[in-house]
Every structure is written in structure tokens, then in C-alpha cells.
Structure 1
Amino acid sequence: MKLLSKDKQSQAQVIRFLMIDSQQNTLNVIQQGLNARFSAHGKLLDDLASFEKMLNLNWDVILYQNAYDFDFDRALEFIESKGKTIPVILLSDDIQNQPNELNKAYQKGIFDIVNPQDLQQLTVSLARATTYSRLVRKELQLTQEIDQLQQQTQNLVETTEYAVATFQEGVHVSANAQYAELFAVNDADSLIGLPLLDILQPQDQQSFKQSYKKLSRGDFSNSSFSILSQNPKAQQKQLNLQFSESNFDDEPALQLVIVTDSNTANITSNDSAFAGLDDVVQLCQQALSSQNASALVMFKINGVDPAQFKTHWNSTTLFFQALQTQLSQLAQKHAAQSTVLRIAEQSFVTVISASSAATLKNALKALAQALPSQITVGSQTFPVQLAVGFQNLSAQHDVSQIEQLLESAYQHHYNPALDMTLSLDSSDERSVDDAPSLSLSTDNSAPLSVSLGESEPAQGLTFEPSDNTSTSTVIDSTNDATLDETEKSLVAQIENNSIALHFQQLYDKEDIDAHVFEVTASFEYEQKNIAFSQFDALKRNPSLAARVDRWILIEASKRLHQFIQKCPKARILVNIHASSLQDATIQALLGKLVNLINSKYAKPLILQFNEADILMNRDRNTQVLKSIQEQGLDVAIAEFGDSIYSVHLLQQLKLAFAKLTQNFSLQLQSDEGMVELQEKIDQFREHDNNIKFLISHLDDMTAFANAWTVDVRYLQGNYYQPKQNEFVNSAS
């Protein structure tokens, strides 16, 4: 850390210290002297009660000079009792002349002893202590993560039905009860120290030794294979072995999981626990409550050769899992529905919805035309013949009626080569053939096919017509006569490409992910700048919101494509409306934008949604967001934390960021507020310990410095970087 340089980066690296003394003037003099060299922010107290409360926050260093009711011995004891590792610097102008007292202080755990009048020495000591403190904190965090992973692994070993053992240099170092039982051993501990070969006794020892030798060298290209055991005590002779890397007592090891035929039978049994009729009813009810036109769709396996599943012990299970996953991806891509249920051995169902019958017809046609003809599992490919059946939904159905609907869908085969009849009126929606094709340009009516060279600048993007047409599920009303003058002005500015983008860099306390920029936008009306986040008309007009979001996504991606030539690790956090999740053109656009950005690093595009908007239709939106994440995009939530449903989003989504509301930023203004803020964050972490919080509106040094004391990794505000009209890298 550049703690001794007064540049913009070091200003962001504020040193937070807690000073124990009764004189405010002492703190003022020290802080003024320190700020001439680097950014430091101190908090003064002189009583034990305040000290106990302030230890709940994160501090880099503690400076002790004098206290009302406790000495530095008590301070050290109290820090230790709290499980904290915070260096304490003792400020004294006379102890240097008392060798015995000096030695006692160091023996008790004082990090350093400094004359408070010597600001040069104090500066160096504070920088050393801060570096040490943050390294210890990071090491503790990593240790906790490792312990957590090891505990999870141990819990898995203890609760799994499989036989599991761990080896070092070919010798058992641990085994679970199932492993011991498999080889008729009464006590698993008695296996420790025995060679693996003595227990497995493979029929083809030479082949096994060659495979194990590769695994020991770290070559896991063939980590799963089967053997015939000649161990007379083995309960089963056919053993399916699965090796993986592991650790035992902090040393490299190999872990072995043995799957037997009885385990396979259990897997098949569990896999055959198909979705019930109640699940199908719930799926139908969700669709009918949100859209005008809905249909129950059934995917039927017409032909699959059972003989092809004999190549591997678990081929059948893996095949149906892969098929269900691919069908879910197709349903999400073409119908914004990612829930596909397996209801019988060779039957899957989903429910698709749209704003009109015509759009529903287009979605069903797209689904039928995109059905896979083969499923890939690992290195194997399985041919399969699939068909689609459907049944219109016009009213809520209970469990007693759903079986009849399923039978109707099974019999009602749909052939995309023939026209489909739907009983609903379709006059309010354009057909797919008349719809404009997508464009990866800010003009909403141009096509979406992209041609982009590896090093071609953003201004040189070229776009070719695409044969694949797509239409939005949100009816385009941006040219509607009902638009007011402000909205008409916005539409004109979209068409003229005169919308203003704003970029603001986030600050990462860990200095690892330092090139994330939030993208916002605004437009001009009557010489006033109107931010889209404050423009309520977009909430009332989903099609206009989708058009705005499309423009922002494309333009921001173009800018990022150009910027990553200078800053390869750059990523953007783009704010869009939750209503745009239902727009098929935007869903089709996202994957192409990732390719357009052409970043060498993973997930350069992060979509940020307002929490309240997501919660308006939580179940449907979270399903779409999960599908978006599968396309290689991260998801973030803004205005997070005030709702009682915030924790549900942490439980349902793997969020890249959770941007806290301004109410949390206001809590940084007082000591009590900071303690409450930390407690709230700790509560959130109980639902997702890996969540990355972002706190914003840090527009002055005090707010920025106080944010360092709470467990929030990313900071944002004008103190670090005001909003810019282009990418400006303040981390360099």
C-alpha cells in the first residue's frame, strides 16, 4: 500500500485509528500532522464503555495515551477477549527513559511505543501498524474461508451415502463408515496406515497403478473409472472409483469416492421422483396471473435408444439431467420461462405466457423449431427425438383438472411447419414476420447480427442483417400519441443518440477488483438534466423503459469495448428496469453484448436492478435473472436492504453486488449508527456470507473514512470519484 504518498489512490486508502485520550486537542494535532503525509481519520474516547462499543467496528490501529477508567493493560486484555487482532501503539514521552517499563509494555503486547511529539516517527509507526493490521485481517478471512470449506467437505463425507477415503502417498489417512462397511471392516480408524492396493485389490493391478500414478502427478483427465475387486471381504466386486484433489492436515492428498451398484439404484430411485401435479398447478397459476395469453407446453421423448446408456454406470441419470437443463435454457431463451418440470419418465412440461396470442404463437413456434436432436453428456453424445404438445390455458385449474390438461397437451402435437390455431384474439400484436429485427446499434429497428474484429475500435462497429428475427413481448408504444412532451423529447433524443451516459468508479478496499464502473444515464428537457432513475414515466411505460435500456446497454458496451484496450480488467455495472426482463429483444441482446465487449476476463457486464422493481414480481423476475446469470452476466441489486424481503433475494440469487440504500449511508454519521449498520450487515451475511456490499453517497472524507470501519468491501461517492462523462481510471 502506498500509505506515504499523497495521491488520489492513497487518499482512498484512509487509515482509521481509534485514539484513547482525554484531550481533543491532542487528537487534532496528531491528525493534522498525519494528514500532511497520508489520509487518516481518528475517533477519540477515554472511557471503557465507549471503548467496548467501538471495538464492534473495524479499526486499523489503536493509539493509547490516557483513559478515564482503564489503562493500556486493560485495553490489551479487552481486545484479546473480543477476538480482535488490532495493533496498539502506546503514546508516551517518558517511558523511553524507563527500560524496565519499556520491556514490560512490549511483553504485554504493545505494537510500538512512540513519543506523540515526534510526528515523523508516529507516521512511520502508524503506516507499519496499518499494513500489519490489514494483512492479519486478510489472513484471518482466508483462514475462516478455508476452515469453512474443510468443514463443508467433512460434513459431506460424514453425511454422504457413498464410501469415501483420503490417501497420501497411496496410504489411507482417513475413511468414513460406509467405506469401512464396504470392505467388512468394523472400525474405519483401523484402515489408517494401510496401503490402498491392499484394500481395493484390483484385478488389473498394472492398469490401476498407471492410473493412480497419473492422479498423483495431478493429471485428472481420467479421474473416474471402474475396477473389479478381488478382496474377498468386499461386499461388492464392481466398484466405480472417482478420484479428486484434497487436503489432509494442510498437506496435499487424494480423495476417493466409491459408487456401487446399490448407490446407482438409489440415484435412479431418487431421480424418478418426478414433479407432482401440485407443481404443475402452481406453474399455471403464476402464468395466468401475469400475462394475457398462456399455454401448457409438453416436451415428449418420441425416440431414444436404451442401448446407448450402457456405456457408463450413470448414463441414464446424466442424460435426463442434461436434457432437462437444455429444455430449461430453450424455454428461457424463447419464452422467458426457465422452469421445466419432469413429470414422467419421458415427459417434461412448462407454461409459457405472453401479452397476446400472436406473441404466444411465435414463442411456441420458436420452441418447436429449436428442439435438440442430440444431448451431450461429458464426451458422449446421445441422439434423441423430441416433440412438442400444447394446451391453451384460459382459467385457473386445480389438481383434479390438471391431469386432463396434461392428457390434452400430450395428444395435441404441434408441428411448426404447419399453422397453429389459438382461440385467443391476436389482432393487437404484429406477427413475427412483420416485426423489425434486432440491431446492436442504438437504432431500435436495425438487425442484431454483429461483425467485429479483434482490435477494431468501437466507432468502427459494423452490423449485418440477421436471418433470425425476434420480437419483444412488450408492445412498442414509444410512438404513441399518449406520450407527453417530456417522453416525446426522450424518444427523439434516443433516435438522435444524444442521451448522456455517466461513469463512476467504485473503490475496492482490497485493491483487487479496482476497475468496476457504474453506468447511469440522463437526458435534457427544457434545459434541465433528468436522470432516468428519477423519471417515473419509465415505470408507467415498460416499452419506453425497454427502449431506453436497450440504448444504454448497447452504447455502454461499445464504450467498454474501447476502454478495455487501456484497462483490460474493466467491468461495467449498468442500471436497467426490471420490466425490461420481459422484453425478448433485450434477452436476445445480452449474450451478444458479452461477445461485443470481447473482454479477456470473465463477466464484464453486470446488470443492476432496483430491489423494489424486482420484488413487484419476485418469482418470475428471479427465474429470468438466474437465466441471465447462466449467459455469463452478473446481477446486482440497487436500493437494497430496506425491505423485509431483501433476505429472500440473497437466498434466491447469487448476487455480484448489493448496493445499500442511502439510509445505510446516513448511519455513518454517528457512532451508534455505524454499530447498527454493522449489525444489519452481519444479519444479511447469515443468508449469503459471500455477498459483496456496496455503500454509496460517500461524498466527503468523513463519510468515506467511516465506511472503512464497517464490513462493506466496495465504496462509491464523489470523494473518490464524481460521475464522469467517460471512463476515468482513478485507481491507476
Structure 2
Amino acid sequence: MQTNALLNLLVIDEDQLYAERIVSLLSHYYDEVNLGFLDDEEELLKALRSPWDVLVFGRAYDLTLTDVVVILQSHDLDLPIIGLMSDELAATAHNAEGLPATIDSMMVKALRPENEVEVVLSICLQHAGLGCRRALKGIRHILSEAEQRANILIKNSKSAVAYLDQGIHIFANDPYLELFGFESMKDIIGVPVIDLIADKDNVKEFKQFLRKFDKGNRDQLEFQFESRKMDGSTFEAKLQLAAATLEGAPVTQIIIQQNAANDAEIAKRLAAVERMDTLTGLGNRRGLEEQLELIHQKVGDEKSSAALYYIQLDNIGKISSSLGLQGVDATIKQVGYRLGEMIEEGYVSRFGDTTFTILVEHLTTQAVKDLAEQIRTDIAGMLIDVNKRTTSTTVSIGVVKIEAGAAAPQVLLERAIDAVGTVQIETKNHGDAYHLYDPSEHANSDDMALAEYLVKAISNNGFELKYQPIYDINTDSSDFFEVYLRLPLADASNTVLTPDHFMAVAKTHHLREKIDRWVLIHACKQLNDVRKQHPTARILVQLTSASLVDKQLPNVASQLIKAIGGAPGAITLQFSEQDVINHLTVAKAQFAALSEAGCEIAIHHFGNSAKSIEIADTVQTDMVRLSRNYIDNINNEDNLDTVKALITRANEHEIDVLMPYIEDAATMSVSWSVGARYLQGYYLEAPSTSMHFGTSEA
């Protein structure tokens, strides 16, 4: 709940004592409550000349709640309303559960006046929502102003600059038009940028370059090519890309320079500008990220230390409300100037709209803390002048030490930002404090490393697949193979992880779908090679719930089936019974689409639900793989009867049953009698790195 804040409360009611009672209760949540009290329309119209945060409506001499809403709409006011129970609202006051009939970001209708706690909390929540809307409006204004300033600079720039939307010109400044021989803007709008590239090989390379940029790859931002003017003449040029906005929509900005003797100097000056914040003259985010990379490498090479400070202004929304954009800019400029003065040996940058970063080297842990406290107290003591008015601000500071063996620069930056979040929690959003990130307090550091390793394995084919034969009683063959995923670690002990060790981390970092896709593609590649010698070979591939709900999976499966010759049933996809239960409607539609594509469907860990047969029949599965608890102690007569009954019911629904985990001769001898079509286990054959076509002796 808000503290240290002002609430302007307007009450329309006949009972002033009640209004004062509400103000008394609100004083526990606000430093000051400014009460406006009235009970007729004329007074309301006068009161609306002043700013208000929340309006509470009870009873009035000549007003209804509808009248108040109409008046606010006619004045185009964003003023939340709390409606107290009245004759007008009684008929539709509450729903069947007894809750107020209308609750949204603008109105609560209707509360009983005697339920003062509900009234007070509704006022606080509506006020908080209003604050968010005001802050969002201010941010949008700031972004609009920034875009306007950027566009003015581009229009007056001597560099050739244009904006692209999906590779098509939508804007170009005069130097750009002159460079290529266009007479006016209308002549270039709609022209593909590849029309300005002379060589066909350059066109192909540029398409790939632009495609990578559109996907977020920023490893390469420059492109050397032979450019073509409208008159057919050509010249050697360099193109640079950057993300930008035009009228609020995302576009791609390109800058084209002719190669000349002074290219190096121009590039140097341009690079400096690209790494500088225009408002404060400090470095910007790009500059900070590059410096952080350099410091990170230097610390690792020299076994030294450094510190990263992430500094967030606390009350910028309040400053924006009271002093507008001019007040915000003045605050940012003066805080930036003060930070630059304080840090003589270090790198200071404006990281975001209202955030700064500082990089300093060679500080002990205590010195790191002392500097954070110095920054905090110095900023809190500033008096910021804005057009003969004065304001002040405080900061929340997140600090990370950078030492040899530290995490990647981006992770360090995220930790500094998280440390600011810790400040907000510890101070209940008041700020004016700092927090030094302590890795020992964060148990997810190992998970982060594992997530990074998984991403690398997906990109560099670092996974390994194993294949275990499945014996088919009906055909007396073992040309059906279950695919198992493994993750070898590059450590001294040659550790190999199974999915139960890394899938939880993969889920947290949204990697399961990519891992599933990797398994499916590489298993099908192996199957395609094997089927050249063994055309009846089939595979059983286990996928996660991420693929179960992936609408693209049937299309991917169809393409893979075509790639291996189009044989239906060559691929069987299996999902866990619990995942199918959790997504039953989606699973039914997904399985139908996969069957249409030529895939067969299986459910593993089958039999753990009281309605396993009904579920399998509902989604029209082809095969089920029994849960391990059915196989354990199968020699027990009761357990054996249970397994037989389950398999019999499955067969009645034309569902084939796979009996896995056959690890010894006793289990094998029983397996023949239960009615399962497929048998599998280490007693028959262990998984191997290839599809081994041996003779299975049952």
C-alpha cells in the first residue's frame, strides 16, 4: 500500500462526519489526505477545477451517480469513482456472490458505507491504478518527445539516413535522396533497399544480413557493398543498421556512407556519438555494455576486481506529475552531472530513461559499499532547480562485484537490476537505499549455468541420442526403437545427464520446445539413414507438454515424415499421461492433426489415473506404455491380475500396450502371458548410440 504520499479525495455525500471518518482511516496509508466535501452539482462543477485522485459518491441533494459519471466524461477527466450504496444502486448493487457489481480501473459499484475497510481499500487501490495510468501517460510523452528529437536530428543530419519497414523504404533524409539520385521523398517510398545494391552476390548476403538483424542478432551491424544509383552508376559504400521507431512503430534505420579517405575518422566520431546520451552527455546503454565486456575480460585476465552500480531514480513519476517533462529532463541532467563529478576514475552512463550505471575498478568490498552510500546520500541532498521551482529525488542502487571467474556480463547486469528490486522490496518501494548482490544468497546460479549449457547444446548439437529396441510379439521383430535424450557434460568425470536432471531448468527458461524439436529432427535423420537398409525401422520419441500444445508440431511432423519417405507409422510420438490429462481438449485436437500427418500416438506412464482407458480412448491414442509401478512386483498374483485386466481393457479399445522395464528373466517369463504386444527392457537389450538390429531371444 502507498506511503509517504498525498491523496486528494473528493466526497459527495450528505454526511460530513462519515467523510471525516474515512479520512481518519486513510491517514494510516497516506502522509496527507486533502478532503473536498460537497453535496450538489454546482459545487461539484467548481470543485472539478482542482485536481482530484478519487471521488467517493454517497447521497447528494441534486445528483445521482449517473449524473456524476456524465459530468466527468463531459470534462474528459480520469477520476476513479467509489459508489456507496444508495437507492439508485440498490437494485444492481451486488452480484450473486455478494460482491460489488462493477469493479474496474475506474469504478467500484457499489459498496456499503458501513463496510469502511472495503471503502478505504478500494480508495487506495483506485488511487494506485490512477498513479499507474498517469505514469504511463508521462512515459509515453517522454518517448514521443525523444522520437521527435531523434527525427529532427536525422532530417538535419549530413549523413545519409533512411528508415525501412521489412526492407522497404518508408523515409529518407535529403543526403540519402541525393546520394542515390532521387528527386523527392515520394520517389523512394516503397522502393526495396535491395534495388540499391549492384552485385547479385551482395544482394544475397544483404538479405541474410538483414534477416539476422530482424531476428535480434546484433553481432554484425555493418555491411560493405557496391551500391547503385538511379542513373546506373555504382560506388563502394558501407551500410549500418540500428533499431528505431517512426510514429511509434518499430522500424529499421540504415545509414549509408561512401568509402573515402576519412572513413576511419568519420567512423570514430560516429561510434562516439552512438555511445553517448544526448541529454546528459554521458555514455549510453550501448557504451556501458561495451565497457562492461572490456572490464569483465580485464578482470579475468589480471585477476583484479571491479564493481557495477545500477542506479534508479525513485520518484520520477511524482516529479513528472508536478513539473512535467521539463522537470524530468532537468532532474536527469543534474543527477547525471553530479554522478560524473563524483566518479573521476570510472565509467558513468545513462542506462535508461531514469537509470544510470557506473563501472569502477580496484575497489575492496568495503570501498564498494562506501561509494554506494556516498552516491545515495549525495543525490538525496541535491536541490534541483526547474524554472524557479525546486525539487529533489532519491535513488535505489543495486551493486555487483566483478571478480575473476564472474558470470557473463549480461548476467552481471541482470543481477544489478535484481538488486534494485531487492531494495524496493526491503524499503516497501520507498527506495533511498542500496543492496550489494551476494551470489551465495541465490540458489539459482547453478540453474543459470545449466540453462546456458542447454542453449549451447541446442545450437552446437551437444546432446546425444540413444536407441533401445522394442520387441514386437505380433511380428517377431525388433525394428521399433525408443529414443532417449542425454546431455554429456564437458567435465573431468564425463558426466551424462538424463532429462529428469535438466528439464525443470529447461522449462523455467522456456527451452523445452527447442529441445523437443532438436530430438525429433536428429532422431528422424538417423531413422532416414537406417531405413535405407532396414525399411521397416520405426522410432518412438518422447516429447514434453511444450510440444503437446505447439500448433506447429503437426506441420513439422508431416515434413519429417515426407523427408524419410512418407511412410505412415514410421514415427510414434509419446506424451505423458499427466500432460494429456492437463491439456485434454488440446491433446485431442493435436493427436487428430498428428494422425492426419501420418504419425502414431503413444501415452507413457500409462495407468496412473483412475480413468486411464477412457482418456486414451478419448484422445484416440495408438499405443500406451505402462507405468513402472505396474511392472514392479509383477510376480505377485494380485499385481499380475491388475496388469492383465488393464491390458485386456486397452486391447478391447484397439490400443496396443508396451510393457517396459523388463530387467530380469522372471519378469520376462511373465511378460508373455499378460497380453501386451510390445516388450522392452535391459534384459532384452540396453540402449545404444545407434539402432542395432540384432536377434531378440524371448
TM-score, with length taken from structure 2: 0.37
Q: Which has the higher contact order (CA 8 A, sep 6+)?
A: 1
TM-score, with length taken from structure 1: 0.36
Determine which structure has more spread, i.e. the larger CA radius of gyration. Answer: 2
